Structure 1
Amino acid sequence: MRMKRERKKKKSDGGRQQNEEKKTTLKGAERSAYFARREAAKVLKTVLVGDAKRRALASIKTLVYHPSVRNKKATFALICQTLKHLPIINDVLQAASIINSKWKRQQELIYIIVYDILFGQGVPLVGDAEKYLMRHKDALHSTLKQILSRKNVKTVKELFALHEVPDVSVPRNVRVNTLKLDVDSALVELRKKYTVQKDDLIPDLLILPPGTDLHDHPLVKNGSIFLQGKASSMVAPALSPEPGWEVLDACSAPGNKTVHLAALMKRKGRIIACELQKERIKRLNDTIKLSGASNIQVLNEDFLNINPKDPSYSKIKAILLDPSCSGSGTAASRLDHLLPSKAAGQDIDMERLNKLAAFQRKALQHAFLFPAVERIVYSTCSINQIENEDVVKSVLPLAESYGFQLAKPFPEWQCRGLPVFEGSEHLVRTDPAKHGEGFFIALFSKKDAKLSVRSNNNDNRNIHSSTRTRNLRRKKPMLIHTNLFRMWLYGHLNRCRIQDKSFSG
């Protein structure tokens, strides 16, 4: 009997132990969810504030995949889903009228919790915000039903479809950092798990299937490969600085193109990485450290404030100018279509575009003043003519007066500049739908001395060049009307895609 009682006691104790372990596990999961929601809310606040000011510090992906964010996949999914449902969430919160001034100060956290209540997996009662909103759970669901009826749809899926923007599916490109790893070794390592092929235009670029997630891959974490799109990876090779040169990267952060320059120069020579915004300097330094580049000097300065006559810059032979732009060419890859300003269908902000173009033009004009410079690349991640062809056209007379002409990088590349001025076929464009990003690249190259407009040699070529400069000055700037431009650009990029079938990128 005694042994029987002991067996029953052990069984009972074992059951209690299992229950205690289950409670402990549940509490651990609740705690994890609690911190995950707050981590997501912090990133979401940065995203929404940047969108409201039209000056995002970084894309959603960049913010989420920062080393400080622990559970990256879950946080990324939670933020994306909350943003996708944000118009509906806002409608529900406004109609329900349950958010007081206290909770309005934590609106990003409120958005995330309401998403979980209405569309997610439910919310454990951990945290004051969770407890408050769960007390209003019935009101939230009731309000959602009223909105369904008002919108004349039967299900949440149909309501969501009214706001949903289709996702863009493009191949995943990675650039091999040849400062740390050769391309063939990277192929061997990545092919252990993925289907990988070489790009046929950029030697250090690899192509993987769409949706391939490499953020936690050891080669990414140790800086052997960089997650960089094809279009972005074309900029540094377009400049093609030679080992031993001194190069100025005028607007460097986050630094992917800067360290690409270092790889192309094989650590020889010097790169001055100029960045004005202090909050972006840390990211630039992190990128440089991760890459293993040792010939980069970071300069916290406005490029326009650099004196080209300063002896420190007397040997600069190449300048990469990738200035602030609208980012319209990377909107899809940045997930900008999820942002409130884009979801609301707001028109193009022409005032902002004009200000950006004025700065871009001023920066490009400044680049020509450096006495030893031989090559200048001007690039944007924009598809807007006003930031691209119009900027280049406006500086051509000055460029020619300093002995520069438009060169043609990647002559085999089919998608070229919009035909709005003579010579636009030298410009490079990429198609967001085909290449994942819409980039623009212009390469200015120093002419031979005898061809320089500023030289004393008045041969026929100089006369022709001077005449062309005067003609450019006479012509009124050609700006395609916004709506017509969209239609024309769509047709132009389609033709590029047809012509570009031979490229795999």
Structure 2
Amino acid sequence: MSLYLEAATILESPQTTSLKAVIYNPSKPFKSPQPKLYALIVETLKFQDILKEVVENAGILKLERKLTPLLSILLTHDLLFTKSGIATSSGPLKDAVLRHKARLNAEFTRARLRRGHGDVKSLVEAVNAEHSRESEDGVTKTPTGLTTFNPRWIRVNALKTTLKESLSSQMFSAFQEVGGMSDMFFSEVVRKYYYPKAELLPDIFAIHPSHDVTSNELYKSGEIILQSASSCLPAIMLNPPKGSTVVDGCAAPGNKTTHLAALVGSNGKVFAVERDRRRAEILERMVAKAGAEKIVTTLKATDFTTITEGHTAWKASYLLLDPSCSGSGILQRVDWDISKLNLPSSNVAPSQPSKKKRKRDDSSQKCSVSQHGEQETQHVDEEVQDSDTSKERLQSLSDFQVAIILHAFSFPNAKRITYSTCSIHAEENEHVVARVLNSEIAKERGWGVQSREDNPLSTWHRRGLVGELSELQVSPKEQQRIADGCVRVSRTDGLGGGFFVVCFTRQVDGEDQLGEDIGTLGVALARGNQGPEGSKEDGDQEWNGFSDEESNEAAPTIDTADDGPQSGKRKRRKPSKDQQARTEKINKRFQKGRKGWS
């Protein structure tokens, strides 16, 4: 009976992400097999209107007080539509349905005939045809009417195959290339199209989200990897040369790690750092599946900030940092909308109710609606409360992010460092860039932001918000250059969610010699070496995360640099006292001529 009870619990819970994510990535494990649980819920949702009609006309909820409306349609679905029937040996809930088996079958036959189907097979085929396209069709409308597309992005694993070989495989040989993302969506039926964006995303292409690739051998063997295009940007922007040594400072679940491995090749080395043992095991499985075991060394239960002089990873030249963040850019996709569940009424008797009874039912419904309204009001209040505390949480997250970058600045041979978040908030993006560039270690060691012209993502149109860099202690012109060096992705850009990435580069002395090694930094900000609890896209969001409105995106308080410099003078915003204190705390901890933090 746990199968039905767990399915009912899922359907009764508020939906904030996809049904697949709820079932296959649960916070607590289910007793029931996940495929059976998913199939039961999806099939019940498909036939819910018929099941509601059958249960109400049979009147079993009036007769069986222990049976809830939700459990009644779940159990009745298996009774009527599966060969094996209700999937439990015995129990009071199963008995409550079986007592009315003849009546339920009779009402099901009437419902089928009313819809013009001579047999059950014809009815099932008709209902399945209505749901031939997944509920998540990849198209989202914002409140302002803007259409955005959310395709399924695929990265070809260069360690095992090539883009050409993948597209000529049995899986994709029938797919035709289209010149625009919208071409995949604006048709009456889903066609076999793929969309490449080679100038920005080599070895990466998009298909319609209703195409399932997880059962294909290419996916099972690790030749192709499901990875949002936005999460591919950090490795592309870091652009480590073949054979180089790279550190992935916050590695799990491993999509960016395996991407780095493909870029550095068999002669390269990637140190994948993961503090959490459980997530490190997931990381290792993904590395093995991608065929990158000889390239990637997993540093289990290791805090990135503990990597110091003497550690094998200390001499790395390239670092990728994608630390915990608010996850505000992650698309909240909903594949099956459980909020629109059509449940039978428990007040309908087998015989036709009188007018008086119907009036009493209406009153009951009004009461229910009123109670639901109170619940909605309470939920809104909770959301407002969360919004009130979000600044504190963002500040805590940004403190941790700053500490991670400052430690990376201390690596003696570091040449390039990418910092990225799946966040749309300036507090975690441009503000962090300003804070680390204002630090003493950045000034001492010559760290700056790579110019737009020099980075591989120079053609991407959406850049950093220059108005959010006003606390950076440089000229307005330099602020603009730094903003242009940052890359922002909107949730409506179709790359898989809101994202931010910047590449820090280090100036060199003389003939390509890096500046003097000033030693190691221990991290003692806010929470020390332990990062705040964050929701990181577990990322990379192949774990199905998903859609928000663009209207929620962080807006610049002074001006923006999405499409280039703005004319006119810009007021320079004074740093807040709190921010000044934090910056001074960072600067004081670093002392010129000394190793470590004071």
Range of TM-score over shorter length: 0.5 to 0.7
Is the alpha carbon distance of 1:312 and 1:269 closer, same or farther for their aligned partners in structure 2, counting shifts above 3 Å?
same
Aligned to 1:233: 232
Partner of 1:432: 491
Q: 2:429 aligns with which of 359, 382, 388?
A: 388
- Point out the more displaced range, 209-218 or 122-131: 122-131
3-state SS of 1:258 partner: helix
Equivalent pair of 2:250/2:304 in contact (CA under 8 Å): no
Match of 1:75 in 2: 38
Residue correspondence of structure 1 range 351-430 to structure 2 within 5 A: 351-398=392-439, 399-407=442-450, 408=452, 409=455, 410-419=457-466, 420-421=468-469, 422=479, 423-430=482-489
Deviations 1:242-264 (A, max 9, x none): 12211111111110000000001
Report Cα offsets for 1:45-66 as digits up to 9, x if no partner: 9xx89x9xxxxxx9548628x9
The residue identity in structure 1 corresponding to 2:437 is L
Alignment-derived partner of residue 309 in structure 2: 309
Q: Shift of residue 311 of structure 1?
A: 4.4
Say if 1:270 and 1:119 are closer, same or farther in 2 by CA, change over 3 A.
same
Cα shift at 1:392: 1.2
Per the alignment, residue 160 of structure 1 pairs with none
Q: 1:70–1:260: structure 2 CA closer, same or farther, 3 Å change rule?
A: farther
Residue number in structure 1 paired with 2:93: 132
Q: How does 1:90-169 map to 2 (within 5 A)?
A: 113=71, 116=74, 125-127=86-88, 131-132=92-93, 135=96, 168=140, 169=149
Matching residue's letter, 1:78: I
What one-letter code is carried by the residue in structure 2 that aligns with 1:403? G
What aligned pairs does 1:161-180 form with structure 2 within 5 A after superposition? 168=140, 169-180=149-160
Distance in 2, matches of 1:71 and 1:134, equals 25
Deviations 1:212-265 (A, max 9, x none): 221212111110000111101112111111122111111111100000000011
**Which residue of structure 2 lines up, in the alignment, with residue 196 of structure 1?**
194
- Asked whether the equivalents of residues 327 and 381 of structure 1 are also in contact (C-alpha less than 8 Å), the reply is yes
Change (3 A) 1:362 1:185: same
Cα contact 2:463–2:483 (8 A) shared by 1: yes
Aligned to 2:506: 446
Query: Taking structure 1 as reference, are residues 281 and 484 closer, same or farther at Cα in structure 2, changes over 3 Å only?
Result: closer
Partner of 1:186: 166
Relative to 1, partners in 2 of residues 1:254 and 1:307: Cα closer, same or farther, differing over 3 Å? Answer: closer
Instruction: Tell me the distance in 2 between the aligned counterparts of 1:393 and 1:246.
Output: 27
Cα deviation for residue 172 of structure 1 reads: 1.4
**Count of aligned positions:** 380
Report the AA paired with residue 426 of structure 1: G
CA distance in 2 between partners of 1:287 and 1:170 (Å): 24
Counterparts of 1:402 and 1:316, CA distance in 2: 16
Residues 113-146 of structure 1: per-residue CA shift (max 9 Å, x gap): 4773699997955448974388499xxxxxxxxx
Q: 1:10 maps to which residue?
A: none
For residue 433 of structure 2, give the secondary structure of its aligned residue in structure 1: helix
Q: CA offsets per residue over residues 374-402 of structure 1, 9 Å max, x none?
A: 11110111111111111111111232332
**1:37: how far off?**
5.1
Q: Is the CA contact 1:378–1:443 (under 8 Å) kept in the aligned structure 2?
A: yes
Distance 2:235 2:40 in 1: 33
Distance in 2 of aligned mates of 1:228 and 1:488: 27
C-alpha contact 1:249 1:274 (8 A) present in aligned 2:
yes
Percent identity, aligned pairs only? 27
Q: Which structure has the higher relative contact order (CA within 8 Å, separation 6+)?
A: 2
- When residues 381 and 309 of structure 1 are mapped into structure 2, their CA distance, relative to the original with a 3 A threshold, is same
Q: Do residues 488 (structure 1) and 559 (structure 2) align? A: no
Relative distance call for 1:355 and 1:312 in structure 2 (3 A) is: same
1:326 and 1:260 map into 2 onto residues whose CA distance is 23
Query: Aligned partners of 1:494, 1:130: CA distance in 2, in Å?
Result: 64
Match of 1:63 in 2: 25
Cα gap change, 1:307 to 1:203, in 2 (>3 Å): closer
Give the Cα separation in 2 of the matches to 1:334 and 1:259: 28
* Structure-2 separation of matches of 1:282 and 1:240: 27
Kindly provide the CA deviation profile for residues 350-382 of structure 1, in whole angstroms up to 9, marking residues without a partner as x.
133222222111111111111111111101111
Q: State the alpha-carbon separation in 1 of the partners of residues 22 and 400 from structure 2.
A: 26
Q: 1:192 to 1:450 in 2, by over 3 A?
A: same
Which secondary structure does the structure 2 equivalent of 1:488 belong to?
coil
Equivalent residue letter for 1:192: A
1:36, 1:75 within 8 Å by CA — same for their partners in 2?
Answer: no
Partner SS state of residue 196, structure 1: strand
Matched residue, 2:351: none
For residue 268 of structure 2, what is the amino acid of its counterpart? G
Using structure 2 for the length normalisation, give the TM-score. Answer: 0.53
Task: Calculate the aligned-residue CA RMSD, in Å.
Answer: 4.9
Pair 1:484–1:70, CA change in 2 (3 A): closer
**Aligned-residue offset at 1:39:** 8.0
TM-score by length of 1: 0.62
**Contact preservation (8 Å) 1:245, 1:270:** yes
Distance in 2 separating the partners of 1:386 and 1:266: 35
Query: Partners of 2:216 and 2:561 in 1: how far apart?
Result: 35
Distance 2:93 2:561 in 1: 52
Is residue 357–residue 387 contact of structure 1 (8 Å, CA) maintained in 2? yes
CA contact (8 A) 2:137 2:210 kept: no
User: 2:213·2:219 contact (CA, 8 Å) conserved in 1?
Assistant: yes
8 Å CA contact 2:223–2:290 kept in 1: the answer is yes
**In 1, are the aligned partners of 2:8 and 2:71 still within 8 Å (CA)?**
no
Q: Read off the aligned partner of 2:168 and give its amino acid letter.
A: V
SS, match of residue 210 in structure 1? coil
